[in-house]
Structure 1
Amino acid sequence: MTRNTRDFDTWLGQFKPVIASYDYYVDFDKAIANTEKWRSELHLMNSLLGSKSIESDFLALVKKYPDVLNVVPTLIAVRATEVPIYEVGMLTKFQFGGKKKSNRPQDYADFMRSTGLFELMESHYITNLLDYVMGVEVGLDSNGRKNRGGHLMENLVEGYLRTAGLACRNSEGRKIIDGNPQEVGVYYKELYTSTMQSFWGIDLSEITNSGTVEKRFDFVVRTAKGLFGIETNFYSGGGSKLNETSRSYKEMAQESERIPGFQFVWVTDGGGWKSARNNLRETFEIMDTIYNLNELEEGTFKRLFVQ
């Protein structure tokens, strides 16, 4: 591996602040599906809205339709069938899932009162619990942005692999198909080092601590030049994880130099790196196969893998 001849500050200045697509912010299909599964229970619970004697009405409803309790955790934006509550000297676990409930009906009424759900339903703040839960699900789905963000970067990088003329050779299940280890001009998604070693007969002990550590690459490219293991990530915000990632990939790059026929490629981007620039600089200076999205737009993969 040769020392990087590019200017680090210029390279870092090309980083993009965001790569969010239209479907990054909310997965509405998921939110709708999660709401619809409670449609019957929510319609029953709607009978409590505006009630003047909500506790007794709730207890009567639970007695007749105990399954309405299953939706209660969602009403407080919790994805769990058991909700623990700690008060001084006492821990109470409220079981909401399943057919058999472990708490007394009055316990659930106390839960509804203490969490503020009765007040919310009594005071006409909401007029339809189905609409309310849809809003809760949209809010909960924001937690999925981290995973979607990771997939956004992977999808972008895969697009550039295809643009370079490479063909994918494994399915969504990530198992290798069309098993020809001699084929070149192809890429594979999410391969573990053990699979790579058995399929291509390459010794990756330098990066697996002599086989004691299993490593997974986001993409593996096979060309006439050899094998390339690609890692991708995008950081819009800072944090200690960036320094850890940079150090880890610096070690990976150095270890990969000792593996004949193998190169490590790192594609990273995002404004979060501005706060961890010093650690990133250290990796950049010893690794000439570290790239940003701007370089992929300019055809880096075609030059690296095809020409």
Structure 2
Amino acid sequence: MKERNFDEWLSKFKTSISSYDYYIDFDKVVRNVDEIKIELNILNTLIGSKNIESEFVDITAKYPETLKCIPLMLAVRSTEIYAQDEEGIFLYNFKNKNYDIEQYIIFMRKTGLFNIIENHLVNNLVDYALGIETGLDSNGRKNRGGHQMEELVEKYIKAAGLEKNKTYYKEMNLADVEKKWNIDLSKISNAGKTVKRFDFVIKTDNMIYGCETNFYGGGGSKLNETARSYKMLSQEADSIDGFTFVWFTDGIGWKSARGNLRETFEVMEHVYSIDDMEQGIMERVFE
């Protein structure tokens, strides 16, 4: 393989790999709201109410399950909510009511929920819940972003003719690699003290490849730590016959940590970008 130029390699890193479903998982959003849709529609009768407290008492007495909707209305994913004021400390349970209803009225008033409902600041609590679920789901983008790089790498692994659970394996623990192929990887597990899981393990006739994947659209201290740790992992793997560490990474976030990435690039033979995969590196490495 010809010698590579780091600056040229880095210049081809991608700004984003986000697919359409990266932003919001609407199937999940709708599914979560559907689970409490009936209860939300019951609470809809409180919108614009002139006697919201007494009506709230009546509704929760007849339909106590409506209480379970309240945490979501505050964008909280829990059946319990902690609150304190000059009157004391409270841990409200909205699955199994643990205070008199009067205390829940205080909660609804002090959190502002009664205000937006009785003053008709929302028109429909189902729509309101959909909006909150959408906002909460946006917090899952980080996890989806990590999985996107894995999915992209797997696409190229398959295109290279490798078969899942035959010639490549997903999320495989180091201990399982040792057991399956009778190989000693203690040099990279600190004699078994370190628990390590590879995103992919690829097995060819002559080599076992442990692969890591990541994509960084933004900078941060984690990038320097990642580059240093993978440099060390690669050097440790080089001392093991029959095992090679491979790193697939990309993202313009690396431009803020180019120094550490350069150090790793210069000593690590098998570090590749999306552009490398597009140019057929899988076929050349895993032949």
Query: What is the TM-score of this pair, normalised by structure 1?
Result: 0.91
**Correspondence 1:103 to 2:84:** no
Look up the match of 2:237: 256
Distance 1:114 1:89 in 2: 12
SS of structure 2 residue aligned to 1:196: helix
Look up the match of 1:134: 130
Higher RCO (C-alpha 8 Å, min separation 6): 1
Question: Residues 7 and 123 from structure 1, CA distance in 2 versus in 1: closer, same or farther, beyond 3 angstroms?
Answer: same
Listed one character per residue, the Cα deviations across residues 56-77 of structure 1 (whole Å, up to 9, x for unaligned) are 2112211221111111000011
Listed one character per residue, the Cα deviations across residues 66-111 of structure 1 (whole Å, up to 9, x for unaligned) are 11111100001100000011336943111112xx311221111111
SS of structure 2 residue aligned to 1:83: strand
Listed one character per residue, the Cα deviations across residues 25-73 of structure 1 (whole Å, up to 9, x for unaligned) are 1111100010000011101100000001111211221122111111100
Quote the offset at 1:5 in angstroms: 3.2
Query: Which deviates more, 293-302 or 78-87?
Result: 78-87
Query: Which deviates more, 81-90 or 147-156?
Result: 81-90
Structure 1 residue corresponding to 2:30, chosen from 29, 32, 53:
32
SS of structure 2 residue aligned to 1:217: strand
SS of structure 2 residue aligned to 1:207: helix
The root-mean-square deviation of aligned C-alpha atoms, in Å, is 1.5
Listed one character per residue, the Cα deviations across residues 190-237 of structure 1 (whole Å, up to 9, x for unaligned) are 110111111100100011001111210000111123100000001111
Distance 1:225 1:87 in 2: 67
| Code of the aligned partner of 2:119 | S
Distance 1:205 1:42 in 2: 56
Look up the match of 1:5: 3
Distance 2:89 2:224 in 1: 39
Distance 2:82 2:42 in 1: 25
Quote the offset at 1:275 in angstroms: 1.3
**Correspondence 1:234 to 2:221:** no
Structure (1/2) with the larger helix percentage: 2
Aligned residues: 287
Query: Which deviates more, 85-94 or 293-302?
Result: 85-94
Look up the match of 2:67: 69
Look up the match of 2:53: 55
Look up the match of 1:152: 148
Question: Residues 234 and 88 from structure 1, CA distance in 2 versus in 1: closer, same or farther, beyond 3 angstroms?
Answer: farther
| Code of the aligned partner of 2:197 | R
The list of structure 1 runs, each at least 4 consecutive aligned residues, that deviate by more than 6 angstroms after superposition, is none
Question: Residues 203 and 73 from structure 1, CA distance in 2 versus in 1: closer, same or farther, beyond 3 angstroms?
Answer: same
